[in-house]
Structure 1
Amino acid sequence: MYIADETWPELGDYFADESVALVPLGSTEQHGPHLPLATDHLIAEAFAREAAERTGYLCTPTINVGVSPHHRQFNGTMWVDAPVFRDYVESFTRNLAYHGIDRVVYVNAHGGNVDHLREVGRRLRDDETMYAIEWMWNDSIPELVDDLFEQNGPHGGPKETAMIQHLRSDLVREDRLEDARDGGVASVDAAGTVKFGSRTFYDAADNTANGVLGDQTDATAEKGAQMFEEAVDQLCQLCDWLDDQRFEDLLPKAHV
């Protein structure tokens, strides 16, 4: 169920019976010469919408701009400062709590959001408002991703390329896949910016001239479809697990 398609009386019926909502989040940032800036939020929304369709749980509108200052050197990248992002997501989520939702899955497709979503979840749990957890699609199927790709990226690499080939093939610049591979680097290790155990880089541009890593020519829509199906199944199972829990058991444990 997508919240914006419903009327308020229909949603009243949902809130009376259900307590779970999915919140898709991504970014609007460079993904190399071959993928659109919308890559992350397109992926997040596709997963959240599909899981909501299969399970009947509520899906909210997508948060399209995230914490992406590390991509700022590339044209068009948008971002909000981390404290602003955390406060916005927290306020957004508290709206759902007001209507009776007490557990949320942040369906996230941008690595730069992860730590901040975990912090928001902690705030909401610590004051016993709700239980909110972050889910990232590729983290739910790591073995499959490793099996499909010799070098998966990460950023703008073959796994994201394959996913957009599956979801929005019209937005993939297929004639730039070799450019993406040859103008980027295979991995962070290959960039040589980890020195003596320290990550000496702050921005994507410190690692890669064109903003991406991995071998994008290894991507296909068929691989994207396989990842999408397996990850959606994981997300649906997570939502059902969450729905089955007693709310009291999700709250912080008492002091020892």
Structure 2
Amino acid sequence: MKLQHATWQEVEAYLQRSTGIIVPIGSTEQHGPNGLVGTDAICPETIAWELGQRHDILVGPTQNLGVAQHHLAFPGSISLRPSTLIAVLRDTVASLARHGFTHLFFINGHGGNIATVNAAFAEIYSEHSVRAGGQTGPNLTLFNWFAGRRGRELAESLYGDAEGSHATASEVSLSWFARPEAVKSVSMSPKVAPVGSAQCDADEFRRRFPDGRMGSDPSLASVEHGSRFLEAGVEDAWEAYRAFTGRA
């Protein structure tokens, strides 16, 4: 069940049987010559929706904007400051906790969010520890779909070193499976993009990676591969969700 497609009465009824919720989080940023700007939000959202449908887990709205300043030299990219994302996450968690949600499972699609999300969790735990007076606080975890064991093994088997680290064939495939009308056929030059660090400002990033790719060849992507990454992602996420919530 999707939170934004439910009535408040349906959410109230859900809380009688479960206090866990999935929150997809991603980014709006360039993904090379054939990748969608929304890739990092589409991928975790697609996994979250399928996981929620299969296992009766409520799925919250996707946080589509993340920390992506190093992509801002590419048109269409939108970035939040780390402090802004922390504030958004603090308010999101506080709102859901007020209703009685105890376990918030964030499925992430953007590596650049990891440090900031963990900092937000630390802020939330710190504030609760100081003010709560013994009351139980929210349980928070971040699951990065692209780091799941099944997904990594599938990417290795399909693409090897050409998977790369940004605008990867795996994430492009999954986003195409979710949005097949947006499939792009584009030649890559060079075939496999250069590798390097993204720890730089936006203009330097574009100088290092002129078409936006990092070590990848997303021309290898396909809708059929995307269906396989969805299955792998759902299985990885379900395993992590069960461990997090103690659900049998």
> How high is the TM-score relative to the length of structure 2?
0.87
Tell me the distance in 2 between the aligned counterparts of 1:173 and 1:230: 23
Tell me the distance in 1 between the aligned counterparts of 2:97 and 2:194: 41
Structure-2 change in CA distance of 1:66 and 1:200 (3 Å): closer
- 1:138 corresponds to which letter in structure 2? F
Tell me the distance in 1 between the aligned counterparts of 2:106 and 2:120: 10
Q: Residue in 1 aligned with 2:217?
A: 215
Equivalences for 1:40-119 in 2 at 5 Å?
40-119=40-119
Structure 1 residues without counterparts, runs of 5 or longer: 194-198, 246-256
Write out per-residue CA displacement over residues 153-194 of structure 1, whole angstroms, 9 at most, x where no aligned residue: 2211211222122221221211x1x1xx315853425xxx6x
SS at match of 1:48: helix
Write out per-residue CA displacement over residues 22-59 of structure 1, whole angstroms, 9 at most, x where no aligned residue: 00111111112212211111112111111111111110
Structure-2 change in CA distance of 1:13 and 1:184 (3 Å): same
Is contact 2:66-2:85 (8 Å) kept?
yes
Shift, 1:106, TM fit: 0.8
Is contact 1:153-1:159 (8 Å) kept?
no
Structure 2 residues without counterparts, runs of 5 or longer: 129-135
Q: Residue in 2 aligned with 1:205?
A: 206
SS at match of 1:146: helix
- 1:71 corresponds to which letter in structure 2? H
- 1:209 corresponds to which letter in structure 2? P
Q: Residue in 2 aligned with 1:186?
A: 193
> How high is the TM-score relative to the length of structure 1?
0.84
Structure-2 change in CA distance of 1:186 and 1:210 (3 Å): closer
Q: Percent identity?
A: 25
Shift, 1:215, TM fit: 1.2
Range with greater deviation from structure 2 (104-113 or 219-228) = 219-228
Write out per-residue CA displacement over residues 69-91 of structure 1, whole angstroms, 9 at most, x where no aligned residue: 11000111111111011111111
Structure-2 change in CA distance of 1:105 and 1:50 (3 Å): same
Tell me the distance in 1 between the aligned counterparts of 2:120 and 2:96: 14
Shift, 1:131, TM fit: 1.3
Determine if the alignment matches structure 1 residue 149 to structure 2 residue 159: yes
Tell me the distance in 2 between the aligned counterparts of 1:84 and 1:169: 33
Q: Residue in 2 aligned with 1:243?
A: 245
Q: Residue in 2 aligned with 1:161?
A: 172
SS at match of 1:149: helix
- 1:156 corresponds to which letter in structure 2? A
Shift, 1:117, TM fit: 1.1
Tell me the distance in 2 between the aligned counterparts of 1:147 and 1:173: 23
Structure-2 change in CA distance of 1:154 and 1:72 (3 Å): same
SS at match of 1:133: strand
Is contact 1:102-1:131 (8 Å) kept?
yes
Tell me the distance in 1 between the aligned counterparts of 2:65 and 2:125: 24
- 2:210 corresponds to which letter in structure 1? A
Tell me the distance in 1 between the aligned counterparts of 2:84 and 2:191: 31
Tell me the distance in 2 between the aligned counterparts of 1:106 and 1:187: 31
Tell me the distance in 1 between the aligned counterparts of 2:199 and 2:40: 25
Determine if the alignment matches structure 1 residue 136 to structure 2 residue 136: no
Is contact 1:184-1:208 (8 Å) kept?
no
